[in-house]
Amino acid sequence: MVSMAALAETASLVGDPARANMLAALMDGRALTASELARAASVAPQTASGHLARLTEAGLLAMERQGRHRYHRLASPAVARMLEGIMAVAAEGRAVASPRPVVTGPRDRALRAARTCYDHLAGRLAVDLADALTARGHLEMSADGGSLTPEGLDFLRGLGIALEHGRAGRNGRVFCRPCLDWSERRPHVAGAVGAALCAHCFAQGWVRRIDGSRALQVTQGGRRDLRALFGIEAG
Amino acid sequence: MVSMAALAETASLVGDPARANMLAALMDGRALTASELARAASVAPQTASGHLARLTEAGLLAMERQGRHRYHRLASPAVARMLEGIMAVAAEGRAVASPRPVVTGPRDRALRAARTCYDHLAGRLAVDLADALTARGHLEMSADGGSLTPEGLDFLRGLGIALEHGRAGRNGRVFCRPCLDWSERRPHVAGAVGAALCAHCFAQGWVRRIDGSRALQVTQGGRRDLRALFGIEAG
DNA sequence: CCCACGCTTCGGGGCGCGCCGTAGCGTCGT
DNA sequence: ACGACGCTACGGCGCGCCCCGAAGCGTGGG
């Protein structure tokens, strides 16, 4: 039974604080350089280099050279889902340990409002979006799964959102993976639909990244369009 | 940002071989004693005790006393999903490292055929079941989600499978969480529907546990009924 | 009542690995 | 071509924690 040893091996890679910080920094789906990741983890570049080599060899990260920089990113959606799962358990354990909501730093404010989670939106913006779509009968979600309704599919296609990949079932529905929002403790839309929504928000200029953070800022046009199209007050 | 430290903390709990083996042994959803877990991890009872205390305090395990035994089990479905996620990444990484299928031990044979995965069925039996339901239009699954069709819901209810919990959406569908089968590399049914199916198989005596293993044996009656009701050849 | 048993606590030994010095390689600017 | 820069390879230091022996507690059985 080789998989048990593999379980410990993989988990211990995430189990080191420096590597965990690097992985967390990559959870927004971007590709970062070794130096940036070293800063994120508060370690020297040599240390980061060693960690990155191990993570890459284990298949957690993918690396591509570009000039004298080397950009590292999560190797696959499976890695992102794994990290989500670990964070969910960590949050659950914390909640038991300390009943009151743990901290709300000043910088956290922006993160809680809107951020990316690998390839989709997260934070209050994402939860509000899911709620708005649900209220209009465009989306149905439960703990075990979710889907766009035929009306929801039409609506999003009308906005110009390409959804060819996760094509609808024989009754015009397309499944959405629910992802438990880390800060809101409620599900938002992940999977192919979530990725398409997120891509569209960036393409339309509704959101943009704040400095080098994982947090997103809703632009003025974004506020206007999100209110007009989805009826949500963002930002 | 407290969650990053929590990420490393939680992951490092799984990152120790002894603890990982214990958690893997509990992945079938049963509750085991400290001694059994010590044997599973090949460590002395004192060592196991310390590990179990840490896992319990962190909220990964739940413990209940019963006489002079103490039964340990996974604390929540979230923990099971986390472990699934880590194993998926581990398998993915291995697949890259060694192209040929890693090992097929004699004991693995039974595990690959049928086993439990926390609260639902896994292995070839579970994948065949999902395929059969899909072929008959009772189930639809994709990478991002799945659901019973209204016909599928009726069919299962006709068998006496209680599905009140994950009640159907406004068009008579009930979502199923897809779970990537560890040995078959294809999705089977998890979530509330998967749990109900698994419970029904046990209740009808279609399957039973082999000795103290995670593997399941399909009974003679199980083979007959599974063929008659689902059209699958099991065992 | 005493022993057997399951489990836990305490203490010390040992090994692994995370860390940063220094040094070396490849790439880009001027 | 030279230096700056990003990154990587090597070596030794030091901390942490995983492990088990020995001993203590609670339960169950003879």
Asked whether residue B96 is assigned to any structural domain, the reply reads: no
> What pLDDT does A215 receive?
92
Q: Report the alpha-carbon distance of residue A197 to residue A202 in Å, rounded.
A: 9
Taking only the tens place, the pLDDT of each residue in B10-22 is 999 999 999 999 9
Measuring alpha carbon to C1', the residue closest to nucleotide C10 is B46
Q: Are A97 and A136 within one domain? A: no
Instruction: Look up residue A171 and give its amino acid.
Output: N
Rounded Cα distance between B67 and A6, Å, is 35
- Judgement on whether residues B208 and B118 belong to the same structural domain of the protein: yes
What confidence tier does A183 reach under pLDDT thresholds 50, 70, 90? Answer: confident
Q: Stated in angstroms, how far is B24 CA from C2 C1'?
A: 39
| pLDDT of B101 | 59
Tens digits of residue pLDDT in B56-100 = 999 999 999 998 999 999 999 999 999 999 999 999 887 776 665
In-domain check, residue A137: yes
pLDDT at site A106: 56
Q: Hey, is the C-beta of B98 within 8 angstroms of any chain A C-beta?
A: no
DSSP assignment letter at A27: T
Total number of domains constituting chain A: 2
Burial (Cβ within 10 Å: 0-12, 13-18, ≥19) of residue A86: buried
Res. B235 pLDDT band, cuts 50 70 90: confident
CA distance A169 to A145: 14
pLDDT of residue B7: 97
Chain B nearest CA to A167, separation (Å): 10
Separation of alpha carbons B31 and B45, rounded Å = 17
The answer to whether B40 CB sits below 7 Å from nucleic acid chain D is no
**A110 SS3 class:** helix
Name which of B63, B24, B68 is nearest B42 in CA terms. Answer: B24
Instruction: Tell me the C-alpha distance between B38 and B45, whole Å.
Output: 6
**B105 strand D contact, CB < 7 Å:** no
Q: Which of residues 14-33 of B touch strand D (CB under 7 A)?
A: 16-18
* Banded model confidence at residue A146, pLDDT cuts 50, 70, 90: very high
B134 within 8 A of B122, measured Cβ to Cβ: no
- Window 47-76 of A, Cβ < 8 Å to B: 58-60, 75-76
Q: Is the pLDDT of residue A3 over 70?
A: no
State how far the Cα of B178 lies from the Cα of B88, in Å rounded to an integer. Answer: 13
- Do residues A136 and A31 both lie within one domain? no
Across the interface, which of A86, A170, A178 has its CB nearest the CB of B7?
A: A86
The answer to whether the C-beta of B43 is closer than 7 A to strand D is: yes
pLDDT digits 0-9 by tens, A119-129 = 999 999 999 99
37-66 on A, CB < 7 Å from strand C:
43-44, 46-47, 50-51, 54
Domain boundary (A86, A102, A118) is at A102
Same domain, A90 and A125: no
3 state SS of B164: coil
Residue B232 neighbours by CB distance under 10 Å: 16
CA distance B109 to B116: 14
Domain CATH number, residue A79:
1.10.10.10
pLDDT tens string B181-193: 988 989 999 999 9
Tokens describing residue A198? 């997120």
Task: Please give the mean pLDDT across all residues of chain B.
Answer: 91
In a shared domain, residues A63 and A122 = no
In a domain, B93, yes or no: no
**What is the distance, to the nearest Å, from the Cα of residue A192 to the centroid of all Cα atoms in its chain?**
12
Tell me what percent of the residues of chain B surpass a pLDDT of 90: 77
Across the range B211-233, mean pLDDT stands at 93
pLDDT digits over A76-107, tens only?
Answer: 999 999 999 999 999 988 777 665 555 555 56
How long is the CA A45 to C1' D3 vector, in angstroms? 20
Task: Look at residue A2 and tell me if it is in a domain.
Answer: no
CB neighbours of residue A75 within 10 Å: 21
In angstroms, the CA A81 to CA A111 distance is 19
Q: What is the per-residue DSSP string for B80-119?
A: HHHHHHHHHHHHHHHHHH--S-----HHHHHHHH-EEETT
Tokens of A53: 């080599």
For A203, the enclosing helix (H) or strand (E) is helix A191-203
Q: Do A7 and B87 touch (CB under 8 A)?
A: yes
Please indicate, yes or no, whether residues A43 and A145 belong to a single structural domain of this protein.
Answer: no
Is the domain of B122 the same as that of B59? no
Q: What is the pLDDT of residue B122?
A: 96
CA of B21 to C1' of C20 (A): 34
Is B101 inside a domain boundary?
A: no
| Statement: residue B103 has pLDDT above 70 | no
Could you count the other beta carbons within 10 Å of the beta carbon of residue A66? Answer: 9
Nucleotide nearest to A46 (CA to C1'): D8
User: Residue A3 domain-assigned?
Assistant: no
- Report residue A196 as tokens: 């398409």
Query: How far, in Å, CA of B158 to CA of B200, rounded?
Result: 12
Residue B98 in any domain: the answer is no
pLDDT(B175) > 70: yes
Q: Which residues contact B48 (CB under 8 A, 6 or more apart)?
A: B18, B22, B34, B35, B37, B38, B41
What's the rounded Cα separation, in Å, for the pair B109 and B114?
A: 9
A70 and A149 assigned to the same domain: no
Q: Is B70 helix (H, G, I), strand (E, B) or coil?
A: strand
CA A51 – CA A26 distance, rounded (Å): 14
Residue nearest to nucleotide C21 (CA to C1'): A46
Task: Please tell me the distance in Å from B204's CA to the nearest CA on chain A.
Answer: 25
The span from the CA of B48 to the CA of A43, in Å, is: 33
Out of A34, A67, A102, a domain closes at: A102
Tell which of A55, A86, A120 to mutate to test the B interface (max B CBs under 10 Å).
A86
Q: DSSP labels for A149-171?
A: -HHHHHHHHHTT----TT---TT
Nucleotide nearest to A53 (CA to C1'): D8
Examine the domain organization and report whether A98 and A113 are in the same domain.
no
B145·A143 Cβ contact <8 A? no
In a domain, A193, yes or no: yes
Phi-psi region of B195 (alpha: psi -120 to 50; beta: other; left: phi over 0): alpha
Q: Which residues contact B199 (CB under 8 A, 6 or more apart)?
A: none
A147 and A94 co-located in one domain: no
Q: How far is CA A171 from the centre of its chain?
A: 29
Of the candidates B211, B131, B43, B60, the one whose C-alpha atom is nearest the C-alpha of residue A89 is B60
pLDDT value, residue B16: 98
Same domain as A195, residue A175: yes
R_g (Cα) of chain B, nearest Å: 19
The residue with greater pLDDT, A143 or B15, is B15
**Range(s) of the domain holding residue B52:** 2-77
ipTM of the predicted structure?
0.92
Inter-axis angle of helices A2-15 and A77-97, nearest 10: 70
* Distance to chain B for A78, nearest Cα, Å: 6
CB contact under 8 Å between A16 and B12, yes or no, is: yes
Distance in angstroms: CA A54, C1' D2 = 34
pLDDT on residue A72 = 98
Q: Which of A81, A102, A123 is the last residue of a domain?
A: A102
User: Are the C-beta atoms of A88 and A78 separated by less than 8 Å?
Assistant: no
pLDDT higher than threshold 60 for residue A32: yes
Per-residue pLDDT band at A58 (split at 50, 70, 90): very high
Q: Is B31 helix (H, G, I), strand (E, B) or coil?
A: coil
Largest CA distance in chain B: 56
